[in-house]
Structure 1
Amino acid sequence: MGFANSACSFTRFRILDPVPTELWSQIPDKLKQFAFRDIDDIPEMQAQGWVCYEDMLDTEWVTAPPQKGAYIVFSLRFDIRRIPAGVIKKHLAVALRDEKNRMNEQGKTFISRERKKELKEQVMLRLRARFLPIPSEFNVLWSIDRNEVWFASTQNKMIDLFVEEFLKTFELKLEQLTPYNLADSMLDEESLARLDQLEATQFAPLS
């Protein structure tokens, strides 16, 4: 789901650091520098990076530039290989059985921990070559005037990944706009102190 859909869940952030004036002209190059790199043909388990908002296959922003008036829009693409645990268990068992047969022919019976680890790594490499990564896309909307960034996901894992990638790319720290943080930005010290003294209301009946 993204911002172009009729309904969308998203997380709001504010930028904590001052945004250098020269950054605005550098954004297209920075997005390309940290753009998504495909892992279909290499045995990596996951990959992430920026892509064009209009086309998740476009990592050069040929389709459209990221600037849209008072907004910067792009997407975070995240690809991950998901190999079922049962598949891993089966192929590891086959590899261990074959290893035991080879060792029996040599008059040996014990498989060392290091060899088991090596066999598992070999099994994982073979399986990675057989399972294509699953792609996903999460839209990003950066409001220049409001100094806010909206990210089209509420998953904690994706939020953490997005904040990390944003900092790496633009060298700007983000703070999630939780209800308390919003209140902190709107209230004076006296009102905020009263807010800190409030206790949660118990709606469930007491047993």
Structure 2
Amino acid sequence: MHFLKRSCSFTRFRVTGKFAFAREKYQEYLEKNAFRELSELKDAQESIGWVSPDNFLKPAEIDEIMLEPYFQLVMRVDRRKVGKALLSAHLAIEEKAALQSSGKNKLSLNQKRELRQSVHQFLLEKTSPSNAFYKALWNFKSGICYLFCTSRGVQNRFSKLFSETFPLQLEALTPWMLAVEWAQENNAKNILNNLTPTPFMKSKRIQRQGLEQQNVLDVE
């Protein structure tokens, strides 16, 4: 469990909507959105779905993931991608062979497009996918879900899969969202209107200026 580690990073969500648990129904939800191997999905470059928290190679079962008042969720993401350089190299070979067989000096745009799609699909099938697993802990009584990752892309994928699986929605509890809620509860909305953002990281332009100034000092 991530919370038992010395340190951990997570994104916190509020689960919105009416939670009405029915064991068979939620098992159907999980099965419908279970992870599928990319080899089963024609032309797909990415596959996302739920897997068992005890064995990432098995589909999620409601009896495994449920430990009242929690759901232990694991999202598996498999991706495969063909590099541009590799695609260009293979495409050049195939275009040369196509020109020789046709006796022409140039391929039409449609021929180039079809050849590119064919070569890309061939290489895609030969490419081993990358695997990533993201854990989450959903307290269905408090309506709070912790995703143990802070990547924006992973957050978006998780939110989409969650809402497609369950009849509920996720709302990210960002610092600004929490500030807005506090202001509403304490009748202090005007305070937020006067706030200005504080940069915690210098822009690249400012960093370059700082380096240039440092170089000048070093020369002097």
**Pairwise same-fold verdict (TM > 0.5):** yes
Unaligned runs of 5+ in 1: none
Aligned-partner Cα distance in 2 for 1:40–1:202 = 45
The answer for the alignment partner of 2:54 in structure 1 is: 54
Q: Quick check: 1:3–1:139 contact (8 Å CA) kept in 2?
A: no
Residues 88-127 of structure 1 correspond to what in structure 2 (within 5 A)? 88-104=87-103, 108-127=104-123
Q: Quick check: 1:10–1:151 contact (8 Å CA) kept in 2?
A: yes
The answer for the alignment partner of 2:33 in structure 1 is: 34
The answer for the alignment partner of 1:152 in structure 2 is: 148
Q: CA deviation at 1:69?
A: 2.1
- Alignment pair present for 1:197 and 2:199: no
Q: How has the CA–CA distance of structure 1 residues 3 and 82 changed in structure 2, closer, same or farther, with 3 Å as cutoff?
A: farther
The answer for the alignment partner of 1:169 in structure 2 is: 165
SS of equivalent residue, structure 1 residue 119: helix
Farther-moved stretch of structure 1 (32-41 vs 1-10): 1-10
Say what the alpha-carbon RMSD is for the aligned residues: 2.7
Residues 136-151 of structure 1 correspond to what in structure 2 (within 5 A)? 136-151=132-147
SS of equivalent residue, structure 1 residue 65: helix
Moved over 3 A (4+): 1-7, 22-25, 40-43, 200-205
Question: What amino acid is aligned across from residue 193 of structure 2 in structure 1?
Answer: D
Q: CA deviation at 1:201?
A: 4.7
Q: Quick check: 1:36–1:59 contact (8 Å CA) kept in 2?
A: yes
Q: Quick check: 1:73–1:141 contact (8 Å CA) kept in 2?
A: yes
SS of equivalent residue, structure 1 residue 77: strand
Q: CA deviation at 1:182?
A: 1.5
Aligned-partner Cα distance in 1 for 2:59–2:68 = 21
Would you say how many aligned residue pairs link Structure 1 and Structure 2?
201
Aligned-partner Cα distance in 1 for 2:175–2:157 = 21
Q: Quick check: 1:3–1:152 contact (8 Å CA) kept in 2?
A: no
Q: Quick check: 1:71–1:144 contact (8 Å CA) kept in 2?
A: yes
- Higher-helix-fraction structure: 2
Q: How has the CA–CA distance of structure 1 residues 16 and 113 changed in structure 2, closer, same or farther, with 3 Å as cutoff?
A: same
Unaligned runs of 5+ in 2: 211-220
Q: Quick check: 2:53–2:60 contact (8 Å CA) kept in 1?
A: no
The answer for the alignment partner of 2:127 in structure 1 is: 131
Q: Quick check: 2:50–2:60 contact (8 Å CA) kept in 1?
A: no
Q: Structure with the greater relative contact order (CA < 8 A, sep ≥ 6): 1 or 2? A: 1
Per-residue displacement from partner, 1:96-155 (whole Å, max 9, x unpaired)? 111111222xxx323111111110111012111211111110011101222011112211
Query: Under a length normalisation based on structure 1, what TM-score does the superposition of the two structures give?
Result: 0.85
Q: Quick check: 1:83–1:127 contact (8 Å CA) kept in 2?
A: yes
- Which of the numbers 175, 178, 185 marks the counterpart of 1:179? 175
Identity of aligned residues (%): 25
Query: Under a length normalisation based on structure 2, what TM-score does the superposition of the two structures give?
Result: 0.80
